[in-house]
């Protein structure tokens, strides 16, 4: 099965480049090449697109605002020359964010993320909102298996559409079909905190905080949103020397 894609960019060379990458990738299918978001509306409303590669800075209709306006969103990968939009991308549950100039390796990595999400959804029998947790570990359903995860091994948990991605120390992440609210309710509040609509962090794993962002593994920056900023600041103040 191929993933039906739309490339949207007002720059002719940029949209041709993304279209070429799509056509080069065996599990992707290009169904439209659009010079504006308006050109893609009918295809999206008719559920013909599963994945959008969309530029942010476009005349008439900004790509970010366009995605926010969609009711039934396909998977989203933003393409842009401006790194400051990365945090904004989290707010609309974008799967990835590609910074121009885009090379094929980065493109393929983003496309593979989408493929993995779709594959996981097809192998999940029911979207059961179930999770078993104790004070030291939890069990989650992942690809027909029950996987035991030690709470101390969790660094942060990330929402990805109808799934969550549990990032672990020295182990590959675990994907499971459960809501952020469900897992948040199961985790001990003295050890885990939701700091964003899309992120829960293990408080014991925080080593660096920079401008309302938490740095993990020297490369992953997680934003603290306004909704959770006061609660997180209270936690920091309690231990600040």
Tell me the pLDDT tens digit for each residue of 145-174.
788 999 999 999 999 877 899 999 988 899
Q: What is the pLDDT along the chain (241 residues), one digit of tens a residue?
A: 799 999 999 999 999 999 999 999 999 999 999 999 989 888 888 878 999 999 998 887 888 889 888 877 899 999 988 766 555 656 677 888 899 999 999 999 999 999 988 887 766 544 444 567 778 898 888 877 788 999 999 999 999 877 899 999 988 899 888 888 889 988 999 999 999 989 999 999 988 888 888 988 767 888 899 899 999 988 888 876 5
Domains of the chain, each with CATH number or no CATH: 3-122 (3.40.50.2300), 132-239 (2.40.50.1020)
CA pair distance 198, 228, nearest whole angstrom:
11
CA pair distance 83, 68, nearest whole angstrom:
19
Sign of CA dihedral 229, 231, 232, 238: positive
Q: Between β-strands 75-80 and 132-133, what pairing exists: parallel, antiparallel or unpaired?
A: unpaired
pLDDT of residue 88: 60
Total length of the chain: 241
């Amino acid at each position: 099965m191929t993933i039906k894609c739309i490339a949207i960019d007002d720059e002719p060379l940029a949209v041709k480049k993304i279209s070429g990458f799509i056509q080069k990738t065996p599990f992707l299918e290009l169904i439209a090449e659009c010079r504006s978001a308006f050109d893609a509306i009918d295809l999206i409303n008719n559920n013909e697109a599963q994945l959008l590669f969309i530029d942010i800075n476009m005349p008439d209709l900004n790509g970010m605002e366009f995605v926010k306006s969609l009711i039934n969103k396909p998977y989203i990968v933003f393409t842009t020359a401006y790194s400051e939009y990365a945090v904004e991308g989290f707010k609309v549950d974008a799967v990835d964010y590609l910074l121009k100039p885009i090379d094929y390796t980065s493109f393929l990595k983003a496309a593979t993320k989408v493929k993995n999400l779709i594959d996981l959804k097809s192998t999940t029998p029911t979207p059961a909102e179930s999770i078993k947790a104790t004070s030291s570990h939890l069990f989650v359903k992942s690809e027909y298996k029950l996987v035991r995860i030690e709470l101390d091994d969790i660094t942060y948990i990330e929402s990805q559409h109808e799934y969550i991605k549990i990032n672990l120390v020295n182990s590959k992440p675990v994907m499971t079909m459960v809501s952020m609210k469900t897992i948040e309710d199961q985790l001990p509040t003295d050890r885990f905190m939701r700091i964003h609509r899309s992120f829960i962090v293990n408080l014991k794993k925080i080593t660096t905080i920079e401008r309302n962002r938490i740095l993990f593994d020297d490369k992953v920056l997680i934003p603290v949103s306004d909704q959770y900023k006061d609660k997180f600041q209270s936690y920091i103040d309690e231990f600040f020397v």
